[in-house]
Amino acid sequence: MLPVAERTETIVLRCRAAQARWAKTSLRERLRIVQRTRNELVASAHAILDAFPIRLQTNRAERIAAELIPLAEACRFLEREGSTILAPQTLPVRRYPSWLRGIEIEERRDPIGVILIIGPANYPLFLPGVQALQALVAGNAVVIKPGHEGYPVMQEFQQLTQRAGLPEDALLVLDEDIESAKCLIAEGVDKIVLTGSSDTGRAVYRQAADKLTPVILELSGCDPVFVQAGADLERAVSAIAFGMRWNGGDTCIAPRRVFAAAAVAERFEQLFRQHVPEAADYLPIKTYQTDEEALGYAARSHYALGASVFGPPGDARAFAAKMHAGVVVVNDIIMPTADPRAAFGGRGQSGFGRTRGAEGLRQFTALKTILLQNRKRLRHLEPLPPNAQELFTRYLSASYSTRWSTRLRASLRLSRALWKVKRYAS
């Protein structure tokens, strides 16, 4: 743990110095370190499990499935896809007008700097671990403020990354006191990632605004489950039961509200009450007649993190496409969101920004656009001809009108205007 007496300014300076060195490390070498981190994760599994808080050690098999395996798979995703996602991209130049020809556009992904990750209590390894690895692969330095009782497991994570070859100070772990994070934000970091409640998100967002520090907020959810006519009711019931018990029910995208189509509502509720003893703690299952009615129910919540839909694949996919939510799972619940290819994040009071997946990795970068002019003669640097207004007006109509007749007439007039330019030049 960093000494309590160590000033926040020193922490930031250490990270900035480490980041400057780390950013010069080739992407290939960064990804090799991720690969070795994955190996260390496997080799240190028992020590990591022992570091989890007691409340999360009651089912060690679930902890492996919920945190260690998804984190290892996230490493492998970065190893396989990181180079492609972060590679410079040259934009195609086809079908551009003459005044833009000769311009070559390249987009590059630069590191942001020092990233502060404020972790949650419910998944103290997986969530901040993935975010930290993505930030590191992008060339940033990382400071992690663990969630409640999360320091020991984050310390294990820090140590295994160092054994994998991560330079000292490229990843630092603060104590669990939220004041540590507040002091760091006040001192000045380059981006903040928070997984937590909406109230905490608002507080962090307000403080970040003072320095215009960008944030990714992954906040509370109140996830609905929709059971359509034609759904596999047994699967829907089993999935909801799984979602209610997984991680002790402490998952941001656990099912909180259940809606069933009128055609299957009675049978579904019978199965639900029969097979889910915890159902007594729910609000009654809400029945809906049409998709529009169901979508209206979903939209009443200020939260829009995740949702699940059970039904025939085509119908369920169409319903999911209309839903106001960051993540929608069709014919399953929670588990598919652990796929490292899938970007994760919410809308509304569930936050904004994305982590995980290609989009999540890109959000730990600063986009730089490089425009290279290849033309030898740059006419826009030359004095305008006397008939410039006529010339530009004709060009505007000839190039951008949606009517072919207008474009044809304007093209003829443009030719005459250009002929005048040649006369002036001579």
pLDDT digits (tens, 9 = 90+) for 22-36: 999 999 999 999 999
Residues 181 and 202 reside in one and the same domain: yes
Mean pLDDT of 208-237: 96
Residues 235 and 214 reside in one and the same domain: no
Residues 135 and 204 reside in one and the same domain: yes
Strands 303-304, 347-348: pairing kind: antiparallel
Whole-number Å distance between alpha carbons of 90 and 289: 50
Whole-number Å distance between alpha carbons of 401 and 388: 19
Q: Is residue 193 classed exposed, middle or buried when 0-12, 13-18 and 19+ CB atoms within 10 A define those classes? A: buried
Residue 388 lies in domain: 383-425
Residue 69 inside a domain? The answer is: yes
CA separation, residue 336 to residues 9, 121, 239, 329 (Å): 41, 21, 12, 7
Whole-number Å distance between alpha carbons of 394 and 405: 13
Q: What's the CATH number where 278 sits? A: 3.40.309.10
Angle between helices 178-187 and 198-210 (to 10 degrees): 30
- 68 pLDDT tier (thresholds 50, 70, 90): very high
82 vs 377, which has greater pLDDT?
82
pLDDT in tens, 304-344: 999 999 999 999 999 999 999 999 999 999 999 999 999 99
Q: What's the CATH number where 199 sits? A: 3.40.605.10
Strand ranges across the sheet with 223-227: 286-288, 255-261, 223-227, 306-310, 327-330
Residue 91 inside a domain? The answer is: yes
Per-residue exposure over 259-277, b if at least 16 CB sit within 10 Å of its own CB, e if not:
bbbeebbeebbeebeeebe
Residue 344 inside a domain? The answer is: no
Whole-number Å distance between alpha carbons of 116 and 100: 41
Residues 72 and 171 reside in one and the same domain: yes
Residues 317 and 172 reside in one and the same domain: no
- 277 pLDDT tier (thresholds 50, 70, 90): confident
Residues 186 and 229 reside in one and the same domain: no
Residue 348 inside a domain? The answer is: no
**171 membership: H or E segment, kind and range:** strand 171-173
State the pLDDT at residue 5: 41
Confidence check: pLDDT of 249 > 70: yes
9 vs 350, which has greater pLDDT?
350
Q: Which of these, 274, 257, 263, 198, lies nearest to 230 by C-alpha position?
A: 263
